[in-house]
Structure 1
Amino acid sequence: MSQTATIDITLDPGAQTAVVTVEATAEQLQVSTAELGTVIATKQVNDLPLNGRNFTQLLSLTPGVAPISVGQNSMGGRSGGFAAPIAEGASFSFPSINGATNRSNYFLTDGMNNFAAFLSTYAVPPIVDAIQEFKVVSHTDSSEFGSVLGGVINVVTKSGTNRFRGSAWEYLRNDAFDSQDQFAKVVHYHQHQFGGTLGGPVALPRLKQNTFFYFAYQGFRYSKPIATPILVPTAAMYSGDFGSICNTGFTAGICNDRDKNNNVINQLYNPYTTVPAGSGFSRTPYLNNQIPVGTNPGDIQPQVVTFLQSVLPAAGTFDPVFNSNAFDTDSNTQHQNEYNIRLDHTFGQTDSVWFRYSLINSTVLKPSAGNVPGLTTNQDIPGRNWGGNWVHTFSPSLQLQALFSRTTVSDNSLTKFKTALTSVIQAAGFAPGFASNFSGAKGWLLPNYELRNGYVSGGESVVLTPQATDNNQVSVTLNKLKNTHTFTMGASYITSVFSSPLSFDTVSFANGQTGDGNGIGGFSVASALIGVPDSANRRDVDERTRLGGLFSAFFQDSWKASSKLTVNYGIRYDLTLIPPYGTKETIDKSGGIETGDFDFSNGTYVLQYPPPPCTVRGHAPCIPSIMLDANGNAVACDPATQPCLPAGTLPPHVVVDSRGRISHNTYTNLGPHLGFAYRLTDRTVMRGGAGIVYDNWAAVSQMSQNIEGDWPGIGQLIANNLNVPGGPTAPNGTPTATYGDPFSAGGVNAGLPAPTPFFSGGVNWHYDPHIKNAYAYQFNFGLQHQINTTTTITGSYVSALTHRANIGGMYNTALKPSTLPNPQSRSLFPYMISTFYDRSVGFADYHAFQLSVDKRFSSGLAYQVAYTFSKALDENDGFFGAEGKNVADPYNPRASLSPAGYDLPHLLTVNANYELPFGQGKRYSTGNHAVDYIVGNWQLNGILAVRSGQRYSVTYNDGDLANTGNVGWAGYEQANLVGDPNSGACQNPDPTLPPIPVHTQGCWVNTSAFAAPAKGTFGNLRPDAFQAQRYWNVDLSVFRGFPIWAEGRKLEFRAEAFNLFNTVIFGPPNSDISNLKNFGTVTSRANANAARVLQFGLRFIF
């Protein structure tokens, strides 16, 4: 638990016989260390209201913990995502701790690694009733703990004792108990959470006094029947009648509908009649939008009709409110089973061991993303965390501890139809090279048949991640007491690997393929039924990393300098071993080891394992034949113009790393720690500490596999703009790409095409090969005062200055904004593309005053108060240009230094357990056993949370306004502030109504206070300059205990309310000023603010 106890005992002269009485009240003052943290004890863990019984909700009871996540580990999908599953409907938190990113935390269970490395979450959640206590350790002056910039969350599980003890429980909730969310439809569901624990001695001869066990089980069952409205093609469309898409009728067979430029719209044309016409093309219309059914090109293809009718329901009555004519009635279910078993054994006076095995099996069955009836996603997520610990005492002053653990999480998702459709797929005419022959999936996969225009779409896929987390840990620690010194030293090694084969295919249809040939008219469903696609992709990759991990070693001395002063000093070494991407088993495979990465420090492209020439292999990954143009750049080989370079010649600026890997490890991560604790009085302690800490886990696993499929590979086969007149697949206007084999028109029947001569497309998430671990200078200073025997108050100043923080987003963009054309010519290296690129060049700053009051349980009451007043600044919130804000100018990230996405200036949490003082043995007793039984045994438990509103940016996201070559969706372009956003009103969409005042749902900010920057400039705002509505919430539980039989046995009824007052807290508004319709409006609730949920439970304790 990272706790050091100092117990001062004074012995007075007296008789030779003395009696020492040890009372239950633990040491209140922390007089031996300067670390920050709060112990969450058993009673709080078991009794505080937890929505879904997920322990991470209790992290916010510690000062400095901001429960806002802008990272990909926010677990929005709840059912996995490379980490242990979250129970549906449960509250959870992967917070920012003391100004660090959401990924910069580390989870331990019983001191063992329990960490899902890909997204920096826990791997296997501990069962709440099996938790003895836990603590968030941060800014520690002990070098034994480190590895992350945020907090180390160490959960200690319960052990058995000489008495059999345990519990059983059942919690129930359903929609009948809940309040309705104004932002969501009514959802009907049923949920059960149940389980039990049992601990005690192992009842075997000669083992009873030294062998103990503790077992826990928890089950979770969730069922949500769904009737999702969907839109499917009608019987008339299957027969070729599309007259209904024309709104104003026909004249001479041509639709009368017109756009604002008087162009004919909602008219269908036969793409196989395309002929050049001036600068464009001309096509013959389908008169009255009637398409014949037949086998001729341009007819409704019977095999397509049969195929769609086999996988889609028949259309019913059209509902204009939901734009639907059918329903997907597949239900959403989640089944989870969790187990925890722990064994403790002592061998005499010198040796003790324990072993624990924790597992979770979760199965989620839910409708497919496209809501095609009968097409469901089955997600299987098993997690394991197990290991053991041995302690050997050589002497009273020398002790050795050795620990081993293993942690695994898989996340395997199969989206398949309930009935096999192999014969349907084959009869529809899909080619084997498109819809089968996947390395990660057996048989055929129905392509995702995208109809667009609001029509339902969906297809089969196999997304396997058998090694989402795969860690082994070995650690050894030696403790030596010598005079007033306690020396601790040790080392640990944790391995990490990742693998994930992915298999899916898609064919898409658009309006243009049945339009007039010039981009006007047409209808995507008609394009689909005549079998003329617009785009397609096929992904069949085997993502794997080689062995990586973390090696750490430390030395620590806790020196009791005097009866009042303890000095802690030490040093820690961390070596992050970045897992190299790809294994030799993936040679000649898409997304395998034969890939590369940019090195923008010198303008090169680095290959880690070069493939053979394309003349030898014939498909990617391979080195294409090239020649050099007049500027010395590589271009495609054309022997008719000049001789080609020898086969396999690398293009200019492409180099090979002889180590066979891209990343370079950092070998200089040495972190000193220094702290002191000085007892000013018997009741007051002054503490302070400083240290250098490195971020060894954040995003490392995910970063290493981001380069899959880079040049000279092709991560997935993509064909866009198929059958566009004048394009490669319709040079004369006539379509040549078919829905069944959309790539064959480009000369590809199997495998992947050869890559272009040099990396000229395919933006990916690259990283600096010399990227280094972020590190922080951490400081804290504080006073702790003991008010009475059970209550302390602590105030601390906390600071962290982070260097080498991650900066993601686009790089190799134009050096300056400009109105000049061709931003690539103005980039750092014009011969290279701009792409996402993560670098360790950022800075972050955190300062806080933290106040806590801690009353241990006594006289029926326990409570904790945690308040934080802070400011967290950074330049970039997370990683990969996908987590929170992004820098506007990648060459000057300091210009984006601003409040972090998880900056919450004010944070207050209060939690309490209160046994009402009525009944037998309480302060207020009637003296009547019957009356006392009725009025007694009541308990209230609650959590109050109040905090500042969530940060958000006001941006302009409609294209690259600064003209730097950045992609618009990255949200880099901040708006211009031209007025006061917090006063005035917004124009009402209904001009007959008065304006809408600010800080309301329809107008959270005055939209007229913002303007789009001039083209070729950056906006004058900095990111995350604004805050949403202030958050507050109360969770409350009421217990009624019924003592039964012998002492210590009790049946407990629990009623719990989450968001007791059903408070609606608005989330950030739509903040894209280019979205004229919705800018400034609020369309969702704040993070963690759900409508009131009521839960009822029974718990038997013995």
Structure 2
Amino acid sequence: MRSVLRFLASGLLTSFLFVTVAFGQGAQTGGLTGVVTDTQGAVVSGATVNVINESTGKSERSVTTEADGGYSVTLLPPGSYRLEITAKNFKQSDVTGVQVAINQTIRQDVTLSVGSVSERVEITATPSMINPVSPVMGQAINAQTLQALPLASPNFLFLLNLSSGVTSEPTDVRTAGRGTADVNVNGNRTSNNSLQIEGVNVNDFNLAHFDTVPLPNPDTIQEFKVATSLYDASTGSKGGGAIGLVLRSGSKDFHYDVYWSHRNDALNATEWFFNANGKKKGRLLQNVFGGSGSGPIPKVGGYWFFNWQGVRARNGIDPNGSSTAPIVQNIPTNADGTTSAALLAPVFGLTAAQIDPVAVNILNLKDSRYGGTFLVPRSGQAGCKSAATATGTFTCQFSSIAPIRDNQYLISYDRDMRHGKDKISGRWFWDEGSVAKPFGTDTSLTNPRLDTQWNRFLSITETHIFSSTKVNELRAGYSRFLFANIPTDTHTVAEIGSVRGNSDQFPGMYRVSVTGSFSIGTGVNDDRGTISNQYNLVDTFSMVTAFGDPARNFIATDYAAFAQDDYRFSSRLTFNLGLRLESMSFGRDKLYRAGIYDPSLAARGLNPFLFPANANLSGFTGTPGISDCALASCRDNNWAPRVGFAWDIKGNQKTVLRGGYGLYFQRLSNQNILQNSLAAPFTVQPLDNRSIPATFQLANPLAGIPPPSAVATAFIPTATRFAGLFNATTSTVNGIPSNGISTNPADVNNPAFKPIFIDAAGRRCLGYADINTNIGATDCSINLASFTSADLNTYTPYTQQYNLTLQHDFKGWVVEVGYVGSHFVGGIGIWDPYLATLVSPSSPITLRDANGVAYTLTTNTVNNEELRHQILGLSRKKGARYSSNIGFSIYNSLQTTVSRRLQKGLYFQAAYTFSKTIDNVSGSLSTDELNATRNGQNGANIYNNQANVQQNKARGDFDRPHRLVVSYTYDLPFGRGRHYLSHLSPAMNKILGDWSISGITTYQSGLPFSVTDSTSGGLYGTSLGTATLSGTCIGANSMYTTGSTTDIITHYLNPACFTTAPNLPNSAGASITGWGDTPRNAFRAPFQQNWDFSLIKGFTIREKHVFQLRADFFNLFNHPIFSTPNAVNIGTLSSFTQITQTAVPARLIQFALKYSF
């Protein structure tokens, strides 16, 4: 369960303008500027410009033109405005339909005619997408366009990838729940994007992704914009995309909408891999329904808006296919399907007394969820092979429905006070959703769970007008989310004859794993609704039990201030100058339950663990002088300059050259510090591993473990010292090595011998005492340094942005061409810079044990890796690694956009990006910045030699050299009032008129990937290497498989082109491999194209009553869009570079209705 509370107010985030600002806008407002002239071209000073909101009919601002005829109006809510311009001896000019966009200043020049002020000249504004006064890049999407485009889920974030410079996977419409949009903007990580709703920061401090942010549905959104480059000093905390969203407000007239959309599996095509394997398509049923209303409040005053939306769905499968577990042995049973210790014992060479009765109880649990009588399936039941064909091994396949439920509400209120001098605005958003997970991970029989997420959002804004040139906006915001995975247990520990100390709070069963087979009990689930399992009964008994206080209370406080001025050098040239202070703190636990390890201390033979000095728990005190976050400094004060320009080359707002430079610091997520909370003694994992336990374990597996609020003193880390060798192949007697202790220092080069390590008290360490892994002290740092420790000197990463672009308006069609680049420095990456070194007779290592005996290493073995590790007392085999600021990236791109604002029924945008991203650590594509989710990375970010991060330099994980996205909406020119068939009768018009289409088409390169080798790096205690080139294939292009689609997806790359890592010289024993030589990300997944399309029919019932029917087609032409190969490990030839998934589903159809009145 995670809970985050954010509160932004003037005391925390100060955003006062320190100088007079000409055109500065926040992330949620826009502005107007222009010059008033007469018909001869002379400027008109002293003219009054009254800005009226056409939705409410109220004046938002009234300003006077300056000596140069110019005027500017800032902090305007996005929407449509009317300008009333009056001046002595001139006719009044009224300009209607002036569209103010979010985070953009619109230029509207006006020409006055000589005459009486009582005379009026009506002018209709011609919207232009040219921005002549700002260097900010990015496109705004208004409510009309947002609601017209095909949207796979009621999640506006899925439209973030319409802009140039943005890359992402095609939207997958199958995922249960609200879905998650992960985008990379101008070469930045997915965790480097920010989201503001109504100017309030709603980012997830824990993960830095958009999986938990508030998601108002499209009918509640007035406008949103993705600023992709050179956004001004009012926006900070991230250097990727800055997304600003404005919610709808009330209106002067009453308006109502009700809507409903529906999709089901009967309308869908069958998945490509389902067809290929002869499987039926899965069940899918989804309904989205809701309504909106707005209007004035006659007696109270002001304007209101309200929306409610509900989602009800039943998602039967993850359509990417089933998953499999290792093939294992069947279960002997009685006639009624039950089993017993007597039946099991002879099969596995045991006596009945040696079989744990709790295990038998688990096998006999009655449960029909898998279509049979028992929780653990039996042969012959539904989904499993019959008994006649299931001897020895069998596979079962099951499916179930995942119910989805969501309700969300939005209330908006706006009111003018003190004759328009003050305006109060409020927004309240409330959302509660849940997704049921009927199954667990691929090889588990876990109990089901319910994933819930609640969002609460409140924004209150007070705008005060001091004068026509001085405006103050005070904004307070509150955003909170609560995310929980709630076990919906159907079986309890008591039911299987077991006990647990906290069973009154969590009565469900333990998660018990049979190695290489299946797991049962509450555990981590995923989105799959179809699983394929193969089952066994008995294996080596292995139990890993974690304990400690799971609750953490992290807190971080940021401060920010900025100064900004948009300086108008002339009517054609504007400079944007800004400076932002970002004072960012690293998260800390209020109870100081966190620790790191300092390699320099271990190198000196000292205890490397450091804990906050303020830690004072029962039986434990912190390290003097260590900060509350355990880092060298808990706060970074960062200065971020921004400078840009916009040059209206001819002064006619048709051709604009824009460019600039900006520095942006990234607010790191809490994951970096969260890993430190996994340090012992706050979280420890004692291991029990016995082939035949001396006593039964399942009846009370956590016996003797202290309660969560206590610290286990046996796991408080102490220094580790080398104390000799023992023969790892020698048997033991009563846990004591029998003639296994070596007295010959030369045995350090014998692969049969392992080092003995002792703790500060001289006791042998667990795992380093003898071959019985259950014997030994538990406080040794070499064992406890098994998590990812944050670097002591962690600092705030930053991005440098720079661009130069040219915009030109061709009669309403805007073409933008430009260079956009970025340089990211200090990205968090996971590595072990102190990997073991290689020895030889000519390059030996000599060290002494605790008794002063010298040992000279001249031969490399797997068992002496701990002694060859550069920091004696740490080991990569035990999991020691670091998260440090080792990441960098360089992004260069040519970006071209052709666009047309929605006008006369047509909106169009084509965004093409030709780019190259080079980095050494890409972070995760879909989760937090520490997770390495690419195949073969095994939880780390660096391949091969960890000490040389430069050798990892290659195309980034999210690099797509070519990407074209075309989005459009078009009212077909047929029917009454349109270009063709304008004289249709009303009856025929209901058939042939009021048709519209919309769509999104994407063409893009596939993602790069690496070929790995799980056998590599054996002598380094790890397996993070790439494969070795066999020499039989010349050039990367010759390594791709050609032929039929089946041939290509079976082995996307030719296995003969690669081999496993060779054994290294001066080595002895097994697994003595080095690194491969295949470069990182040397290969690229298949090219992708996707077409989403909507057909819309409108019916006018009577004035202001409109009924709309639409059909949305996702993956219109049913192209299989293949994902990156799944298995990239050359060590598994049978599945090497197989493609078993599609990135988007087969064609999916959705119908929708909407009634507006």
Distance in 2 separating the partners of 1:688 and 1:95: 24
Amino acid at match of 2:869: S
Matches within 5 A, 1:170-189: 170-184=260-274, 185=279, 186-189=281-284
Q: Is the Cα contact below 8 Å between 1:981 and 1:1006 reproduced in 2? A: no
Amino acid at match of 1:219: G
Paired residues, number: 899
Distance in 2 separating the partners of 1:242 and 1:46: 66
2:163 to 59, 62, 66: 62
CA deviation after TM superposition for structure 1 residue 77, in Å: 11
* Bigger Cα displacement from structure 2, 132-141 vs 682-691: 132-141
Correspondence for 1:525: 537
1:673 aligns with 2:642: yes
CA deviation after TM superposition for structure 1 residue 450, in Å: 2.9
Query: For the structure 1 residues 243 and 1076, does the alpha-carbon distance in structure 2 shift closer, same or farther, using more than 3 Å as the test?
Result: farther
Distance in 2 separating the partners of 1:59 and 1:839: 30
CA deviation after TM superposition for structure 1 residue 809, in Å: 3.1
Query: For the structure 1 residues 1092 and 980, does the alpha-carbon distance in structure 2 shift closer, same or farther, using more than 3 Å as the test?
Result: farther
Q: Is the Cα contact below 8 Å between 2:129 and 2:814 reproduced in 1? A: yes
Q: Is the Cα contact below 8 Å between 2:838 and 2:860 reproduced in 1? A: no
1:444 to 487, 507, 518: 507
TM-score (norm 1): 0.76
Distance in 1 separating the partners of 2:330 and 2:422: 69
Distance in 1 separating the partners of 2:517 and 2:435: 27
CA deviation after TM superposition for structure 1 residue 877, in Å: 0.7
CA deviation after TM superposition for structure 1 residue 387, in Å: 1.7
1:377 aligns with 2:449: yes
* Bigger Cα displacement from structure 2, 761-770 vs 819-828: 819-828
Query: For the structure 1 residues 999 and 100, does the alpha-carbon distance in structure 2 shift closer, same or farther, using more than 3 Å as the test?
Result: farther
Q: Is the Cα contact below 8 Å between 1:737 and 1:744 reproduced in 2? A: no
CA deviation after TM superposition for structure 1 residue 1081, in Å: 2.1
Amino acid at match of 2:354: G
SS at match of 1:761: helix
Matches within 5 A, 1:403-418: 403-418=475-490
Q: Is the Cα contact below 8 Å between 1:141 and 1:569 reproduced in 2? A: no
Q: Is the Cα contact below 8 Å between 1:131 and 1:156 reproduced in 2? A: yes
CA deviation after TM superposition for structure 1 residue 68, in Å: 4.2
Unaligned runs of 5+ in 2: 1-27, 40-112, 526-533, 603-607, 716-777, 841-858, 924-928, 1065-1073
1:551 aligns with 2:536: no
2:822 to 786, 800, 812: 800
1:781 aligns with 2:781: no
CA deviation after TM superposition for structure 1 residue 722, in Å: 2.9
For residues 413-470 of structure 1, give each alpha carbon's deviation from its aligned partner in whole angstroms, at most 9, with x where no partner exists.
222334x746424xx1x24xxx2337xx715332123345645x4224699xxxxxxx
Identity %, equivalent residues: 22
SS at match of 1:958: coil
Matches within 5 A, 1:46-61: 46-61=147-162
Amino acid at match of 1:597: I
CA deviation after TM superposition for structure 1 residue 596, in Å: 1.4
Distance in 2 separating the partners of 1:557 and 1:25: 28
CA deviation after TM superposition for structure 1 residue 972, in Å: 4.2
Distance in 1 separating the partners of 2:982 and 2:121: 37
Distance in 2 separating the partners of 1:103 and 1:459: 33
CA deviation after TM superposition for structure 1 residue 93, in Å: 2.1
Correspondence for 1:282: none
For residues 304-353 of structure 1, give each alpha carbon's deviation from its aligned partner in whole angstroms, at most 9, with x where no partner exists.
43883346733461533997698867531110011111111111221111
Correspondence for 2:947: 891
Amino acid at match of 2:311: F
SS at match of 2:1013: coil
1:114 aligns with 2:202: yes
CA deviation after TM superposition for structure 1 residue 121, in Å: 3.0
Matches within 5 A, 1:597-636: 597-600=596-599, 604-609=608-613, 617=619, 622=620
1:340 aligns with 2:431: no
CA deviation after TM superposition for structure 1 residue 903, in Å: 0.6
CA deviation after TM superposition for structure 1 residue 29, in Å: 1.4
Distance in 2 separating the partners of 1:524 and 1:326: 12
2:1146 to 1082, 1091, 1099: 1091
Q: Is the Cα contact below 8 Å between 1:793 and 1:853 reproduced in 2? A: yes
Query: For the structure 1 residues 1063 and 608, does the alpha-carbon distance in structure 2 shift closer, same or farther, using more than 3 Å as the test?
Result: same
Query: For the structure 1 residues 9 and 974, does the alpha-carbon distance in structure 2 shift closer, same or farther, using more than 3 Å as the test?
Result: farther
Correspondence for 2:915: 870
Distance in 2 separating the partners of 1:817 and 1:408: 55
Unaligned runs of 5+ in 1: 80-85, 246-252, 254-266, 271-290, 464-510, 512-522, 585-592, 624-649, 725-729, 988-993
Correspondence for 2:120: 19
Correspondence for 1:1014: 1062
TM-score (norm 2): 0.72
Amino acid at match of 1:417: D
Query: For the structure 1 residues 328 and 685, does the alpha-carbon distance in structure 2 shift closer, same or farther, using more than 3 Å as the test?
Result: closer
Q: Is the Cα contact below 8 Å between 1:1059 and 1:1093 reproduced in 2? A: yes
1:195 aligns with 2:290: yes
Amino acid at match of 2:292: T
Q: Is the Cα contact below 8 Å between 1:784 and 1:793 reproduced in 2? A: yes
Query: For the structure 1 residues 346 and 995, does the alpha-carbon distance in structure 2 shift closer, same or farther, using more than 3 Å as the test?
Result: closer
Amino acid at match of 1:15: G
Distance in 2 separating the partners of 1:995 and 1:113: 51
Query: For the structure 1 residues 234 and 56, does the alpha-carbon distance in structure 2 shift closer, same or farther, using more than 3 Å as the test?
Result: farther
Distance in 1 separating the partners of 2:140 and 2:1014: 45
Query: For the structure 1 residues 369 and 25, does the alpha-carbon distance in structure 2 shift closer, same or farther, using more than 3 Å as the test?
Result: same
CA deviation after TM superposition for structure 1 residue 784, in Å: 0.5
CA deviation after TM superposition for structure 1 residue 543, in Å: 3.2
Amino acid at match of 1:51: A
CA deviation after TM superposition for structure 1 residue 661, in Å: 3.8
Q: Is the Cα contact below 8 Å between 2:200 and 2:477 reproduced in 1? A: yes
Query: For the structure 1 residues 368 and 1090, does the alpha-carbon distance in structure 2 shift closer, same or farther, using more than 3 Å as the test?
Result: closer
Query: For the structure 1 residues 599 and 396, does the alpha-carbon distance in structure 2 shift closer, same or farther, using more than 3 Å as the test?
Result: farther
SS at match of 2:782: coil
Distance in 2 separating the partners of 1:78 and 1:549: 35
Query: For the structure 1 residues 239 and 154, does the alpha-carbon distance in structure 2 shift closer, same or farther, using more than 3 Å as the test?
Result: closer
Matches within 5 A, 1:81-96: 86-87=177-178, 92-96=180-184
Query: For the structure 1 residues 557 and 595, does the alpha-carbon distance in structure 2 shift closer, same or farther, using more than 3 Å as the test?
Result: closer
Distance in 2 separating the partners of 1:1041 and 1:77: 28
Distance in 2 separating the partners of 1:881 and 1:379: 21
Amino acid at match of 2:611: L
CA deviation after TM superposition for structure 1 residue 55, in Å: 1.0
Distance in 1 separating the partners of 2:358 and 2:598: 53
* Bigger Cα displacement from structure 2, 217-226 vs 170-179: 217-226
Amino acid at match of 2:657: M
Correspondence for 1:353: 424
Query: For the structure 1 residues 1052 and 933, does the alpha-carbon distance in structure 2 shift closer, same or farther, using more than 3 Å as the test?
Result: same
Q: Is the Cα contact below 8 Å between 1:986 and 1:997 reproduced in 2? A: no
Amino acid at match of 1:754: A
1:158 aligns with 2:248: yes
Correspondence for 2:586: 578
Q: Is the Cα contact below 8 Å between 1:335 and 1:363 reproduced in 2? A: yes
Query: For the structure 1 residues 1076 and 552, does the alpha-carbon distance in structure 2 shift closer, same or farther, using more than 3 Å as the test?
Result: same
Distance in 1 separating the partners of 2:890 and 2:362: 62
2:144 to 27, 43, 53: 43
Distance in 1 separating the partners of 2:359 and 2:1091: 59
Distance in 1 separating the partners of 2:339 and 2:593: 49
CA deviation after TM superposition for structure 1 residue 985, in Å: 7.9
Amino acid at match of 1:159: S
SS at match of 1:569: strand
Query: For the structure 1 residues 31 and 955, does the alpha-carbon distance in structure 2 shift closer, same or farther, using more than 3 Å as the test?
Result: same
Correspondence for 1:458: 520
Amino acid at match of 1:1011: T
Correspondence for 2:665: 694
Query: For the structure 1 residues 800 and 867, does the alpha-carbon distance in structure 2 shift closer, same or farther, using more than 3 Å as the test?
Result: same
Q: Is the Cα contact below 8 Å between 1:367 and 1:373 reproduced in 2? A: no
1:1004 to 1040, 1052, 1076: 1052
When the two chains are superposed, the root-mean-square deviation of aligned CA atoms in Å is: 3.5
Query: For the structure 1 residues 98 and 4, does the alpha-carbon distance in structure 2 shift closer, same or farther, using more than 3 Å as the test?
Result: farther
